[in-house]
């Protein structure tokens, strides 16, 4: 019988200090994600493997969403940024290294960044995310640095399946493809998880769920990593990145994902609140504030009128809490700013309230009427401009002739970008 003591997870005793720290980790503890903030330091640009769902122009999909490119920081600039963020964000509990490539493929900069932050704030919880290829090589350094939270992405246990997910790996100066490469990667991932878990690290395993390639195999992965001592798993949807080998694959739906998470929950604790955040994310999981610390100046909409310029006028609904930044997920927006514009000039014509419908991942697939009502409320718009939108909502809007455009930046940049996309000047 499994131990039900709060000091024990997966039949392992967790020391009280680590338990206390983990209660403040917004990814590891559901209860912490509305209260405690994390900050990612994008100091790791290189990667040593090639996942078929990744386009290397974008962030690592294992811990962040595709479609946006992060700035890259040196350890020195990471330290400066940490000081600024710490001064302005209350309850900053975690500093993570999550790409945009692999934390261990950039070990020297990862390590130096952690040491610099630790010297400023020894109480901060450090968190690393890796594809696991170099874990057997670096696990002892991770442990010596005092890192207690590590995420490893494991998408399969069999090299045959791995050969369909990974293009190649670069290991000890050599390139390996197909099943040979996948076999080395899987072996190192599993060995790395075991070594970390045996040494008191709480390992979270991320699994990207890819329809017909590894979905049927996910319960086996969960059982195996549990056996190796993993703390929890986080099953994530495939979000096809433009330009990647899987760009035409269908995005995993929330319905499929929740079904799989619920099935695997019977074996091991599951994360249900992952936001697939960026490699430079800052803030609460549901309230990303990275752009406040990245943008030198938040732009204003150029003065002038949208009409009378001899160009077509488009109506665009913008999800923005602050008013100057595109900072909301479609499902979290209770109102939209409605702009009319021609790509150069825009006028805000109204603020339009819509009912909030995304009250949690579990409900997303059931509140059909509400979702239709939101799409109806925006039916005079050519596009919605949002930080992020799910596959189903995107399709629902498309049926009404509304294009969904994800953008990370100021409203000003976003509106121009949206018109370029509508007019087909920008590849989707």
Query: What is the sign, positive or negative, of the torsion defined by CA atoms of 60, 61, 64, 67?
Result: positive
Q: Pick one of 9, 61, 98, 419: the residue that binds ligand CLF (CB under 6 A).
A: 98
Q: Between residues 102 and 288, which has the closer beta carbon with respect to ligand SF4? A: 102
Query: Which positions from 228 to 247 touch ligand CLF by CB under 6 A, shown as an x/- string?
Result: ------x-------------
131 binds ligand SF4 (CB under 6 A): yes
Among residues 277, 291, 369, 366, the alpha carbon closest in space to that of 325 is found at 291
**Contacting range for ligand CLF; rule: CB under 6 A; set: 12-20, 92-100, 176-184, 209-217:** 92-100
- Interface residues for ligand CLF in 174-193 (CB under 6 A)? none
Q: Which two tokens stand for residue 209?
A: 């769920």
Query: In which element (H, E) is residue 125 found?
Result: strand 125-130
- Interface residues for ligand CLF in 26-55 (CB under 6 A)? 27, 38, 40
- Interface residues for ligand CLF in 60-89 (CB under 6 A)? 63-64
Among residues 231, 248, 277, the alpha carbon closest in space to that of 68 is found at 277
45 binds ligand SF4 (CB under 6 A): no
135 binds ligand SF4 (CB under 6 A): no
155 binds ligand SF4 (CB under 6 A): no
Q: Which of the listed partners (ligand SF4, ligand CLF, none) does 414 bind, with a CB threshold of 5 to 8 Å by partner kind?
A: none
Q: Which two tokens stand for residue 33?
A: 């994600």
Q: Pick one of 39, 47, 73, 419: the residue that binds ligand SF4 (CB under 6 A).
A: 47
Q: What contacts 75, CB < 8 A, 6 or more positions away?
A: 43, 109, 112, 113, 116
Q: Between residues 59 and 340, which has the closer beta carbon with respect to ligand CLF? A: 59
97 binds ligand SF4 (CB under 6 A): no
Measured CA to CA, the distance from residue 209 to residue 215 in angstroms comes to 5
Q: Which of the listed partners (ligand SF4, ligand CLF, none) does 388 bind, with a CB threshold of 5 to 8 Å by partner kind?
A: none
Using CB atoms within 10 A of its CB, is residue 96 exposed (0-12), middle (13-18) or buried (19+)? buried
Query: In which element (H, E) is residue 151 found?
Result: strand 149-153
54 binds ligand SF4 (CB under 6 A): yes
Q: How far is the CB of 8 from ligand CLF (least distance, A)?
A: 21
Interface with ligand SF4 (CB under 6 A), residue total 12
- CA–chain centroid gap for 301, Å, is 29
Q: What contacts 208, CB < 8 A, 6 or more positions away?
A: 51, 53, 61, 62, 153, 155, 214, 236, 237, 238
Q: How far is the CB of 204 from ligand CLF (least distance, A)?
A: 6
Q: Which of the listed partners (ligand SF4, ligand CLF, none) does 96 bind, with a CB threshold of 5 to 8 Å by partner kind?
A: ligand CLF
Measured CA to CA, the distance from residue 49 to residue 178 in angstroms comes to 12
275 binds ligand CLF (CB under 6 A): yes
61 binds ligand SF4 (CB under 6 A): yes
110 binds ligand SF4 (CB under 6 A): no
Q: Between residues 101 and 192, which has the closer beta carbon with respect to ligand SF4? A: 101
Q: Between residues 264 and 274, which has the closer beta carbon with respect to ligand CLF? A: 274
Q: What's the N-to-C CA distance of the chain in angstroms?
A: 52
Measured CA to CA, the distance from residue 49 to residue 99 in angstroms comes to 13
Measured CA to CA, the distance from residue 369 to residue 321 in angstroms comes to 24
62 binds ligand SF4 (CB under 6 A): yes
Give the footprint of ligand SF4 on this chain (CB under 6 A). 47, 49-51, 54, 60-62, 99, 101-102, 131
């Amino acid at each position: 019988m499994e131990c039900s003591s709060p000091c024990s997870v997966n039949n392992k005793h967790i020391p009280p200090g680590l338990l206390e720290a983990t209660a403040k980790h917004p990814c590891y503890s559901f209860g912490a994600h509305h209260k405690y903030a994390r900050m990612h330091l994008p100091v790791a640009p290189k990667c040593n493997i090639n996942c078929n769902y990744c386009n290397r122009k974008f962030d690592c999909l294992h811990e962040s969403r595709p479609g946006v490119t992060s700035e890259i920081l040196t350890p020195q600039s990471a330290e400066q940024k940490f000081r600024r963020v710490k001064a302005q964000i209350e309850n900053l509990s975690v500093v993570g290294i999550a790409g945009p490539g692999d934390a261990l493929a950039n070990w020297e900069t990862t390590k130096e960044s952690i040491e610099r932050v630790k010297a400023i704030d020894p109480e901060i919880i450090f968190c690393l995310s890796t594809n696991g290829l170099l874990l057997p090589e670096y696990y002892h350094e991770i442990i010596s640095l005092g890192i207690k939270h590590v995420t490893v992405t494991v998408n399969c246990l069999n090299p045959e399946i791995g050969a369909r997910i990974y293009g190649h790996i670069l290991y000890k100066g050599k390139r390996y493809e197909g099943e040979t490469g996948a076999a080395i990667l899987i072996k190192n991932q599993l060995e790395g998880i075991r070594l970390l878990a045996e040494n008191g690290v709480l390992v979270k395993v991320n699994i990207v769920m890819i329809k017909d390639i590894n979905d049927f195999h996910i319960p086996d992965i969960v059982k195996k990593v549990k056996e190796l001592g993993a703390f929890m798993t986080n099953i994530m949807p495939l979000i096809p990145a433009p330009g990647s080998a899987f760009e035409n694959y269908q995005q995993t739906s929330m319905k499929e994902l929740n079904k799989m998470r619920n099935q695997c929950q019977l074996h091991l604790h599951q994360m249900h609140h992952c936001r697939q955040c960026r490699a430079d994310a800052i803030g609460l999981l549901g309230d990303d504030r990275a752009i406040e610390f990245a943008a030198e100046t938040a732009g204003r909409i150029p003065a002038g009128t949208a009409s009378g310029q001899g160009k077509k006028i488009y109506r665009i609904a913008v999800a923005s809490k602050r008013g100057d930044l595109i900072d909301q997920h479609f499902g979290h927006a209770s109102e939209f700013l409605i702009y009319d514009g021609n790509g150069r000039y825009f006028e805000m014509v109204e603020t339009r309230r819509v009912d909030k419908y995304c009250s949690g991942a579990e409900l997303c697939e059931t509140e059909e009427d509400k979702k239709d009502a939101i799409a109806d409320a925006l039916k005079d718009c050519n596009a919605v401009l949002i930080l992020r939108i799910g596959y189903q909502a995107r399709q629902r809007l498309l049926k009404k002739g509304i294009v969904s455009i994800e953008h990370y930046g100021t409203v000003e940049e976003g509106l121009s970008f949206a018109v370029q996309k509508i007019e087909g000047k920008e590849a989707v």
